[in-house]
Structure 1
């Protein structure tokens, strides 16, 4: 698979944010390069074929409104088909590249030997509750390990919400009675760059009531060994479950 060859080399997984940043950079770079070439060529032709007030040369093949190239080897036909061929190559290459790289975003990296960590994310007015595989639940903060694929199952207990983090480039609808899936991963290098603990803001991207703007949370990523120690201490423990009480001063 293209995604496996390009994006997953051994155990080096790439976060969605890195993938989208790469796509943006590639399209920006190519768009700038091609735009510069096209504009420069246009200006060159404007100068070359400007009206200097003199008589046109006898062999000057002036363009005619509505005229199409005959395809019989004329200079205008050659330029047209050359530009069309180059444009087709660039567009097809970008489509193949973007499709292959987006497959990785859609499917995610393969699970490790111990499998993925699957967390249930439930939205409510106006906050988020997270349930871990061992039954431990907590609100406001989702704590996960670095260098692991984190699968999230997103739903809602009341109205439509949308769980997401702009920094991680993830977003999933939270709909009552339905479940949407997504994944994310943060490298240990990123965690170290943020001082041993990486934090990302969680927001609701669906207008869900008067407390919508305050419906925020946090994803905290810590080294895997620290997370395993923390997770082992959550056995049989629930952290601050919300049962219709107020969150941030806003009644449910």
Structure 2
């Protein structure tokens, strides 16, 4: 059982950072680790390439104080002398292949962790919220049936989102929390996040969905766990007055998930 101490049962997140080869933690931590690795390797490779290019430019420079006999210049159609029959070329290509394949494999394993909805589903006390896209707004349905256009969630808690659409293709994303998931009519996709600190963020639609696509934003408020519990205790299994009529469509999720009827107007 995951430790908890609040009314809704906010869990100590399962996404804790570890010292393994593949980074663990919140989505923000994982994507920051990927960025740092690519930045470091890119910088090292750039230094080596530019340094080697500068060395060769210096060796083969042309000037009054430079003797052409000092170096052996390459001849068109011949392998450069001192290349050991192409050995240097083989080593450089081999090292490049090892670096590229290792980087691709490491990134793939890291993204498998990030995109696995089971990471949050494995936590029985994670907060589950259904996200429904519609032209041109987002609707959130909580486990008690409460519907709202503003996503509220406690800080430092696993939040599991089940995303779908009532009309056309949308794509739900919270860039600051590194969340992005397709919203497809008749289907559901799963994603998760852990916000470490309270704050206010903005959810966007990243799929061109009509004339109001550019305005399809939604507020995301991360609250202190105690403040969230107080807010959640005062919600009812009904619309909060901002989502319109909730009787037009029915969305059924997988077994064990929230099953809610909703049909919010634009």
Bin the TM-score by the shorter chain: 0.7 to 0.9
Relative to 1, partners in 2 of residues 1:175 and 1:110: Cα closer, same or farther, differing over 3 Å?
A: closer
Q: 2:37 aligns with which of 26, 34, 37?
A: 26
Aligned residues: 228
Secondary structure class of the residue paired with 2:163 = strand
Unmatched segments (≥5 aa) in structure 2 = 1-13, 247-264
2:194 corresponds to: 185
How far did 1:228 drift?
Answer: 2.2
1:160 corresponds to: 169
1:211-230 alignment to 2 at 5 Å? Answer: 211-230=212-231
Secondary structure class of the residue paired with 1:36 = helix
Distance 1:55 1:174 in 2: 67
Q: Note if 1:144 corresponds to 2:145.
A: no
1:202 corresponds to: 203
How far did 1:68 drift?
Answer: 6.1
2:74 corresponds to: 63
Large movers: runs of 4+ above 6 Å? none
2:101 corresponds to: 92
Unmatched segments (≥5 aa) in structure 1 = 192-196, 245-250
Q: TM-score, normalised by structure 2?
A: 0.73
How far did 1:54 drift?
Answer: 4.6
Contact 1:144 1:227 in 2 (8 A): yes
Distance 1:29 1:177 in 2: 43
Map Cα deviations across residues 120-160 of structure 1 (whole Å, 9 max, x no partner): 11111211111011111111x10011222211111111222
Relative to 1, partners in 2 of residues 1:61 and 1:212: Cα closer, same or farther, differing over 3 Å?
A: same
How far did 1:7 drift?
Answer: 4.1
Relative to 1, partners in 2 of residues 1:66 and 1:225: Cα closer, same or farther, differing over 3 Å?
A: farther
Relative to 1, partners in 2 of residues 1:113 and 1:19: Cα closer, same or farther, differing over 3 Å?
A: closer
Map Cα deviations across residues 91-144 of structure 1 (whole Å, 9 max, x no partner): 2331232122212211164557643222111111211111011111111x1001
Q: Note if 1:15 corresponds to 2:16.
A: no
Bigger helix share: 1
Q: 2:134 aligns with which of 124, 142, 145?
A: 124
Distance 1:229 1:132 in 2: 15
